[in-house]
């Protein structure tokens, strides 16, 4: 049997890991999309149209993804809780 303190620590470290993964996803995806936009702008001579467009699309897509991921996480966390059960 694992002591309660160890379980809490495992959950905390898992939370840090998830947060770091999401931070890297947000930063990395936005930077990569912006760089692709810069590349297209340099080829077409339309600076900074595609840079801004791809950067904003990345931010919008990541925000929508984070929203739905958060809703799914909360639904999974509250599953089976007394306040989520249907009244009889």
Bigger pLDDT: 5 or 69? 69
How many CB atoms sit inside 10 A of residue 29's CB? 15
pLDDT band at 55 (very low <50, low <70, confident <90, very high): very high
Provide the mean pLDDT of the chain. 89
Tokens of 48: 């900074």
Question: Quick one: average pLDDT of 4-16?
Answer: 70
Q: Which pTM value belongs to this model?
A: 0.77
Alpha-carbon gap, residue 77 to 49, rounded angstroms: 42
- The fraction of the chain above a pLDDT of 90, given in percent, is 65
């Amino acid at each position: 049997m694992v002591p309660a303190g160890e379980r809490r620590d495992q959950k905390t470290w898992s939370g840090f890991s998830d947060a770091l993964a999401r931070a890297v996803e947000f930063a990395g995806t936005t930077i990569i999309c912006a760089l692709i936009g810069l590349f297209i702008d340099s080829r077409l001579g339309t600076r900074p149209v595609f840079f801004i467009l791809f950067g904003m699309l990345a931010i919008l897509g990541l925000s929508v993804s984070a929203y739905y991921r958060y809703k799914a996480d909360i639904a999974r966390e509250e599953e089976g809780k007394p306040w989520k059960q249907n009244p009889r």
